[in-house]
């Protein structure tokens, strides 16, 4: 995301806005600059050769009359001596260009409708904050925390937030989710209880390391409130060995191991599968995937201390979370012992995420991180580890998170007939442009992510602008990956000329991993009743502006 980097001269030139009408009402023509540049909403107040582009873009967006109405409204509000008081609800109702776009910051309310199209990071990024507070976004993008940005914002003040709206709401103790943490407003919520949400595509591939606050969240149950001082991780000992009861400090005494790992939910991109035929599951779009730098003890070190070794026959390491349903049943999952004991598999009992203690939504104080494996096995709020001859008996291990033939339905499904998902297949998606967007002719920038399971590196992403007839290889970005341990995604980008005369582009991406596995062309033949493993070519249709 481009930070707001406005030269002070431009900002100071903006002072005194509202002293006159916008440029198209000026008797004097001021058509010096038609190009779109990152600058404030210059209102042609002084006639000093300043640009009209802000109003022009806004005018074309909203229609001239509407734009004028907003302008006047803003001016009236700012001129008042005692500030106008707005409720949160009123602010929230101004979240679209048609209603006007309001935001809050530090108890003040701003009408930034006119600024949306001028936002240097792009209109879509600013719109993520529409109708709510700017703080969570400025916390993500620290470049905003500069005096000239504050000054720019001040121009748009229309009033203040009702102080009553700042008191926290009373805790509803009858609601098992009442104690869930506060989440970042940019997250697109697929389910509030349990909380399941993904970052929007505009933000997802902006950062190689996903900020904790917008890392996708997949909860199956209410978030437990764990006291780190009394927390103990119970590790069942091997026959003849003692079990371990590890405090956070005990866990920190094991060698600290750090690794960058992409986590993906098995249901990522399920919404495309449900367009083929109804599936059972949350409507994840392309955002049920994120990347963090995790740190913690290696599971193999902890298991060795509890006396566990490689067995001759396949055995499983079972995990239980501290989250549980009203009957007391905890979330559970397992992975093969061979993977757990392989030092090269980098399986962690993680207590840090991007240099911070784990956020509550991501398993505070300890979660399992199993690189290259489906998110469902990376148990959060970890309470218990044991080595068993069978997979975890958990519903989520045995009766969910498995793939089936498209011919299998809820009448015929036999969950025992398919293996639990562990490593995931090769995956990629387009995050820019958005489906349905209108792009400028000339050149198009296509961006996205690509990843594969099992430590297999993405070696190529092919992008097509014509629905898959012709392809161009994208540039790959991101951390260099160790051979056989490519745990993290690649971000990718392609800049390509828009074919002349094209009114619409059917943009497609497909990735190849270092086992030369590829994504399937279409969704229907991989459709399955739970809508998991949706990794067909990702397709985005955009219009080309004439």
Active site residue 265: yes
3-state SS class at 203: helix
Task: Determine whether 411 is exposed, middle or buried from the number of CB atoms within 10 Å of its CB (0-12, 13-18, 19+).
Answer: exposed
Residue 308 is among the residues annotated as catalytic for this protein? no
CA-closest candidate to residue 290, choices 215, 381, 388: 215
Closest by CA to 380, choosing from 354, 361, 353, 404, is 361
Give the shortest CB-362-to-a second copy separation in angstroms: 25
Pairing of strands 472-473, 217-218: unpaired
Residue 309 binds a second copy, judged by CB under 8 A: no
Which of 42/535 has CB closer to a second copy? 535
Binding status of residue 326 toward a second copy by CB under 8 A: no
Please identify which residue in 44, 366, 379, 526 interacts with a second copy, judged by CB under 8 A.
526
- Among 52-60, 98-106, 219-227, 398-406, which window interacts with a second copy (CB under 8 A)? 398-406
- Binds a second copy (CB under 8 A): choice among 108, 206, 462, 491: 462
Active-site annotation holder among 71, 86, 220, 265: 265
DSSP 303: H
Instruction: Tokens 């003692």: give the residue.
Output: 242
Minimum CB–partner distance for residue 529 and a second copy (Å): 13
| Residue 255 in contact with a second copy, rule: CB under 8 A | no
Contact between 525 and a second copy per CB under 8 A: yes
334 vs 420: CA distance, rounded Å: 9
Q: Which stretch binds a second copy (CB under 8 A): 105-113, 215-223, 363-371, 512-520?
A: 512-520
Among 68, 161, 292, 421, binds a second copy (CB under 8 A): 421
Nearest to 199 by CA among 116, 281, 263: 263
Residue with tokens 């449900």: 274
With beta carbons less than 8 A apart as the criterion, state whether 329 and 271 touch. no
The answer to the question of residue 273 lying near a second copy (CB under 8 A) is no
Residue nearer to a second copy on the CB measure, 123 or 468: 468
- Measured from the CB atom, is 187 or 424 closer to a second copy? 424
Question: How many C-beta atoms surround the C-beta of residue 135 within 10 A?
Answer: 15
Both structure tokens of 176? 């098992």
Helix (H, G, I), strand (E, B) or coil at 148: helix
Token reading at 108: 């003040």
Does the annotation count 218 as an active-site position? yes
CB of residue 482 to a second copy, shortest distance in Å: 8
Rounded Cα–Cα distance for residues 272 and 286 (Å): 9
Instruction: Please give the Cα distance from 58 to 293 (Å, whole number).
Output: 41
Pull the structure tokens for residue 455.
Answer: 């430590």
Is residue 477 annotated as a catalytic residue, yes or no?
Answer: no
Which candidate in 218, 270, 339, 539 is catalytic? 218
213 makes contact with a second copy (CB under 8 A): no
Contact between 300 and a second copy by CB under 8 A: the answer reads no
Q: How far apart are CA 378 and CA 233, in angstroms?
A: 15
Q: Which of 26, 85, 304, 338 binds a second copy (CB under 8 A)?
A: 338
Count of residues of this chain found to bind a second copy when the rule CB under 8 A is applied: 46
Distance of alpha carbon 351 from alpha carbon 368, whole angstroms: 9
Residue 13 binding a second copy, by CB under 8 A: no
Q: Confirm or reject binding of residue 276 to a second copy (CB under 8 A).
A: no
Cβ(269)–Cβ(538) under 8 Å?
A: yes
Asked if residue 516 binds a second copy (CB under 8 A), the reply is yes
Q: Which two tokens stand for residue 123?
A: 């209109």
**What x-and-dash track marks residues 464-493 binding a second copy by CB under 8 A?**
----x-xxxx--------xxx---------
- Determine, following the binding rule CB under 8 A, whether residue 406 of this chain makes contact with a second copy: yes
CB 302 within 8 A of CB 269: no
Taking the complex as a whole, the smallest distance from the CB of residue 238 to a second copy amounts, in Å, to: 20
Residue in 71, 94, 144, 362 annotated catalytic: 144
416 binds a second copy (CB under 8 A): no
Q: Which residues bind a second copy (CB under 8 A)?
A: 314, 336, 338-339, 344, 403, 405-408, 418-419, 421-426, 453-454, 456, 459-460, 462, 468, 470-473, 482-484, 510, 512, 514-522, 525-526, 533
Catalytic residue positions, numbered: 119, 144, 218, 265, 401
């Amino acid at each position: 995301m481009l930070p707001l980097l406005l030269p002070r001269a431009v900002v100071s030139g903006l002072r005194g806005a509202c002293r006159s009408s916008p440029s198209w009402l000026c008797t004097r023509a001021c058509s010096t600059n038609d190009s779109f540049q990152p600058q404030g909403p210059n209102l042609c107040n002084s006639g000093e050769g300043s640009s009209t582009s802000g109003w022009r873009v806004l005018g074309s967006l909203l229609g001239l009359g509407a734009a004028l109405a907003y302008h006047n409204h803003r001016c009236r509000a700012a001129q008042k001596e005692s500030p106008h008081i707005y409720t949160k609800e009123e602010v929230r109702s101004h979240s679209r260009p048609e209603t006007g776009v309001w935001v809050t910051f530090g108890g003040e309310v701003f009408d930034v409708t006119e600024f949306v199209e001028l936002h240097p990071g792009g209109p879509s990024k600013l719109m993520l904050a529409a109708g709510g507070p700017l703080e969570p976004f400025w916390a993500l993008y620290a470049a905003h925390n500069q005096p000239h940005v504050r000054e720019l914002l001040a121009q748009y003040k229309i009033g203040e937030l009702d102080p009553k709206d700042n008191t926290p709401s009373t805790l509803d103790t009858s609601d098992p989710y009442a104690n869930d943490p506060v989440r970042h407003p940019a997250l697109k919520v697929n389910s509030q209880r349990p909380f399941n949400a993904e970052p929007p595509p505009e933000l997802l591939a902006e950062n190689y390391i996903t900020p904790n606050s917008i890392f996708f969240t997949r909860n199956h149950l209410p978030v437990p409130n764990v006291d780190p001082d009394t927390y103990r991780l119970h590790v069942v000992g091997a026959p003849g060995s003692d079990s371990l009861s590890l405090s956070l400090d005990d866990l920190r005494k094991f060698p600290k191991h750090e690794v960058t790992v992409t986590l993906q939910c098995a249901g990522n991109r399920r919404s495309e599968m449900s367009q083929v035929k109804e599936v059972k599951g949350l409507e994840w779009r392309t955002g049920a995937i994120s990347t963090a730098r995790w740190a913690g003890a290696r599971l193999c070190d902890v298991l060795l201390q509890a006396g566990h070794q490689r067995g001759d026959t396949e055995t499983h390491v079972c995990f239980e979370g501290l989250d549980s349903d009203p009957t007391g049943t905890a979330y559970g999952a397992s992975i093969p012992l061979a993977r757990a004991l392989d030092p090269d598999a980098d399986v962690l009992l993680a207590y840090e995420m991007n240099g911070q203690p784990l956020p509550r939504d991501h398993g505070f104080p300890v979660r399992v991180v199993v690189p290259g494996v489906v998110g469902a096995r990376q148990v959060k709020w970890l309470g218990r580890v044991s080595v068993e001859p069978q997979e975890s008996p958990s519903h989520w291990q045995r009766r969910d998170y498995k793939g089936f033939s498209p011919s299998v339905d809820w009448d015929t499904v036999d969950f025992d007939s398919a293996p639990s998902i562990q490593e995931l297949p090769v995956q990629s998606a387009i995050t820019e442009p958005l489906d349905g967007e209108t792009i400028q002719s000339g050149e198009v920038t296509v961006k996205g992510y690509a990843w594969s399971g099992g430590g297999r590196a993405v070696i190529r992403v092919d992008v097509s602008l014509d629905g898959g007839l012709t392809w161009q290889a994208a540039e790959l970005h991101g951390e260099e990956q160790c051979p056989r341990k490519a745990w993290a995604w690649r971000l990718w980008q392609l800049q390509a000329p828009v074919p002349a005369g094209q009114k619409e582009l059917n943009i497609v991406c497909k990735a190849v991993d270092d086992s030369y596995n590829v994504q399937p062309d279409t969704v229907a033949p991989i459709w399955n009743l739970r809508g998991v493993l949706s990794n067909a070519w990702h397709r985005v249709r955009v219009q080309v502006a004439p």
